[in-house]
Amino acid sequence: MNDKAQRPRVALVTGTGSGIGEAVMRHFCAQGHQVLAVDFQAEARQAAEHAGAAFFQADLTDGEACRAAVQDAVQRFGHLDILVNNAGIQHVSPIETFAEDKWRHIIDLMLTAPFLLTQAAWPHMRAAGWGRIVNIASVHAQVASPGKAAYVSAKHGMIGLTKTAALEGGSQGITANALCPAYVKTPLVDNQIADQARMHDMQEQQVIEQIMLKNAAVKRLIDPDEVASLVGYLASDAAGAVTGASWNIDLGWTAQ
């Protein structure tokens, strides 16, 4: 095995302050990867440092910040092997009253930023002949829910980006896959519960049972570590034959 094969993998993970991103960051650090954790909130630095990751604060709705994050990873660690596009937000409102600035912010963060990060990371992966892109989509990349026009549109778009990257990267040793989880126990989901309760004039527990888990065969929320484990597989050598796929981890939601 040559030195390049023996070197630690370098991963850039976005949205690491909590939830799925934090779990993925911790999982990679535990595997011995070198990790750059990217988050908008300065408070996320503490979680990154505690896990053993480096931290880069960035507003990923800014294209220059996306490119700077990739540059920082390469300058720190010498290369970049794995990109996990996870950062996301949610806004719940009917289409008729959905604010344009909310729409643009969600699309910029959850679709344009993954494209720009992929674009910036691509030359480094191509030069190494090895790369893993894992996009955290959602069950809402497969189905829709009322009140989530921007989120659903961004996640559907992420599947298209994933498939295109897979086709372009296949001959260069770069794979691209998407994960489509249902509701995960994260602060983002906690906020959605409150928003849905207001939108439907329901109690929060009713939202969980009657809206969020209505179509689920397994009646519980998903633990972030369950998603991180699947990300770890897709980012490994073992997943070299897997690309362009959408991996549902959705409690059986789409089995109907």
91 DSSP assignment: -
Distance CA(47)–CA(154), nearest Å, equals 27
16 DSSP assignment: -
In the annotation, is 233 catalytic?
A: no
Q: Which residue matches tokens 């109907």?
A: 256
Distance CA(65)–CA(53), nearest Å, equals 19
249 DSSP assignment: E
- Given the residues 55, 56, 77, 151, the one annotated as active site: 151
- 19 Rama sector, left if φ>0, alpha if ψ -120 to 50, beta otherwise: left
- The H-or-E segment that residue 28 falls in is helix 19-30
| Active site residues per annotation | 151
